[in-house]
Structures are given as structure tokens and as C-alpha cells.
Amino acid sequence: MPKNLHTQLLTLSLLVLSRLASAALPAAVEGQPLPSLAPMLEGVTPAVVNVNSKTLERVRNPLAEDPFFRQFFGLGNLPQERIKQSLGSGVIVDAAAGLVLTNNHVIDGADELSVTLSDGRTLAGEFVGADPDTDIALIRIPAEQLTAVPLAATSSALRVGDFVVAVGNPFGLGQTVTSGIVSALGRSGLQGLGYQNFIQTDASINPGNSGGALVNLRGELVGINTAIFSPSGGNVGIGFAIPTPLAKEVMRQLLAFGEVRRGSLGIQTQDVTPELAELLGLGTRRGAVVTRVQADSPAAAAGLKAGDVIVKLDSKQVIDGQSLHNQEGLLPVDEAVSLVALREGREVRLSAVLKARLRALKGKDLDARLAGARFVELPEQLRQRGGQGVAIEEIEAGSRAAANGLRPGDVITAVNRRDVGDLEALNQRMQAPPEQLVLTVVRGRRAVLALIE
């Protein structure tokens, strides 16, 4: 190639590249502005905060147990302590009251809470309440020039395919925005989580996003980001958020009662097996077979009977006994719910008003031999793994329960070899205290029979 032609081509190329480099992205195409999430996010991001929790932990120091090191290095017998920090996200949902929603696992056991706003201010956080079974926690910060994100209206039904945006603090990097769509609704059955009714999304959610906001394109809060499904620990496009209506109901109860009061139909069930389906002449293998209806329960008042197969609760499909239990725990107390059951080959429709479940039982109210023990329900995570029974939360020192060898953490699974599934069942078993009381106690990985005297 002639030298002068090469020079001309090089000059022309540089000229074209310089023009391209200086060309700005057009603000509009054919008179239509280019789409952008920026205007919506300007109203959302000030309401999404970073949550920092600090927990004081006692740790074992092997050197402090050695007499030589204790003597020559002055370690003494004092316990060693360290501060454990956890970073997560939160959403301001009430600017006037300074209320911030986050995940329970972000602040669980924290001795100190602080909240950093998008404008750089760091404020002390006050713990209001938490519900481990839905992984929702509520904290309060000083209501000083705060911005809240509006909650999506119940009428704004979320659909699979709707665009959503996640805002949070992944890996402690600072406020980060990702976008995606709603991949599925009503997800449940995830290991290690309590009552479940998740929004699934492919918007990137990573460690640190927990407690952050999932918003629609109107800038309304549709969910609280809480978990991911990942074999590697990083985002693979499967994230989960707690729907706003559920988070709102949990917040209402935490403010009103300091706890969440869950409803119960007052029944015991089992899954529909192929054998049961054939025996009962069912055209489906889905549903929960009622095996027992407690007296004076909402189910009894509604007319539910043993042998009925519940296939829908409040218009939602009942897959098995666990899904029924999950749905019960997500419904508000003292409100009517609809039931669809199969009875002798025909469909019956019933209505019931859920009553609050027992939260705890004192041993002295059951039997004098159990005085000093406090019984509570098993955590929902254990029930999802097949756990049955009631747990002993505490034992008073010097009490009769303590003298009988019962310990905090014990799980009672049977009374006189009759299974005890929950507090209601324990209460029923002890209505007529037996002359000889034998408890089946699970302690660690061992099950023992304990004669209570």
C-alpha cells in the first residue's frame, strides 16, 4: 500500500472514531424518551438503609485454661469476648414513626443496632419486635428527615412476568440496584425457613441484600428481600422476597402485641397417600386428610369432620398437611376463611374463624408434677424437617420439674406413649392427669422414657 494512502486511511479512521466517541446517547428516539428507572429510584433509594448489628459473644480461650499462661501472662479466669458484626439492609416504611422493616436473621441476637441512611447519616436503632417464623423484624430509628417507600396496594396484584427492582447492600458494598422480573409467586418448601409464601425473582439478590426492598416500576414496595437459592453462595438468578401484605400484617401485630399471634383450625391431619386416595375414592392425591377435630375448635364450629379431605384454604390449593399448616400460619387471627373439602365423594364448602394458637403452657397448669416447666411450640423450621412435639423453654431451679430431671431444651413427644404433636395435643392429653405419668423425652439425639413423680 502506498505510504500516502495508508496515512489518509489512518487519518479518516481517527476522525470517525473521534466523532463516535464524542457522540452522546440521544435523549429521545423519534420524539419518545428512552426508558429509565432513574426517576422512580430517586424516590425509593432514600428509603432503603444499611443495617449494622453487633453481638457480644463469649469465646473459649484454651490458653486461659493453662495454669502456666494464666500465671505468667495474667490471663486470669475471665471469659474472653469478641464482637460479631452483621451487615444487611432495611426499608423505611413509616417516616413519621421512624419504622424500618428488615429480616430477623439480620438482627437476631444483636446487642447493638445502627442504621445508615443513603445520605450518610448513621442513627441508633431500637428493636421493636421480630417474628423468626416469617423472618421479619421491626426496628425504630429517630424520625428525623426520613423518606419512606410507599407500600403496594392490595389491589395492585403482582403477576408472574412483572418487572421488579431490588435495592440493598450486597456484600457491604453500599446501596446497589438490580432489576429483573417476578419468576413465580407463592413459593414454599425451602429448607431452613419458617412460614413461606415467597415471591421468586431473578433480580440479583446476594448476601447483604437481606431486608432490602423489592419494588415495582411505580416505586411501591412489593416485598422484603430475604433469601437466595444457590449451590455456590452467590446469585444464580433465584431469589426470594416476603410479600408486602404478609410483612405489613406481621408489622401490625408486632406493634400491637409485641409478637405474632397465629391462627389454628384445631385439627390434626395426614397427607393423602395413593392408598388413602384409593380407599376414600378420591380423584386427586393432593390435600390433607383430617384425622382429628378438637372439641370447641374453629373446625368443629365450621362443621369439619374426621375423614374430610381439605383441598383448598382461603382459595389456595392445599397440597399436603405441611402446606395446610403453612397456610394456617400466614392467615390473620379472628378473621373468616373459606374451606373446600371432599366428603364421601362430594365437595363441601365451609367457613371458619381462626383462633389464636397456644403460645406456651405452664407445667403447674397441667399437672403439679410438672410445676416449674414452661412448654412452647417447636420452631417452625424443625417442624418442616418432620419434628413433632413440644419444647421445654425453661425450668425453674429447685422446682418439681427440675427434681424430675427435666431440662431446658428437652422435647416431649409423647405422654404415656400417646403422641403429642403440639401444645394443643399436650393440653388435651393432660385434661385428666394420669396416675402414672411417663414422658417420652428427646434430648439431643437420644430418646428416653422419664417417670415423673
Residues labelled as active-site residues: 105, 135, 210
- Closest by CA to 341, choosing from 363, 361, 360, 318, is 318
d(CA 123, CA 115): 5
- Closest by CA to 47, choosing from 141, 162, 179, is 141
d(CA 238, CA 200): 7
Measure the CA dihedral 449/451/452/453, to 10°: -170
57: Cα separation from own chain's centroid: 24
Task: Report phi then psi at 23, rounded to 5.
Answer: -75, 125
Specify whether the CB–CB gap between 226 and 198 falls below 8 A: yes
Beta bridge partners of 81: 58
Q: Look up residue 58 and give its three cell numbers.
A: 463469649
- Closest by CA to 157, choosing from 117, 115, 211, 199, is 199
Q: What is the CA radius of gyration of the chain?
A: 29
- Closest by CA to 132, choosing from 281, 301, 277, 329, is 329
Dihedral over Cα of 241, 245, 248, 254: its sign: negative
d(CA 418, CA 437): 11
The residue type found at 381 is: Q
Beta strands per DSSP E along 307-365: 309-313, 316-317, 336-343, 346-353, 355-356, 360-362
d(CA 333, CA 175): 37
Task: Report phi then psi at 252, rounded to 5.
Answer: -60, -45
Q: Look up residue 230 and give its three cell numbers.
A: 444457590
Specify whether the CB–CB gap between 431 and 296 falls below 8 A: no
Q: What is the DSSP letter of 15?
A: H
The position carrying cell 379472628 is: 334
Determine the length of the chain. Answer: 453
b/e for 388-404, b at 16 or more Cβ within 10 A? bbbbbeebeeebbbbeb
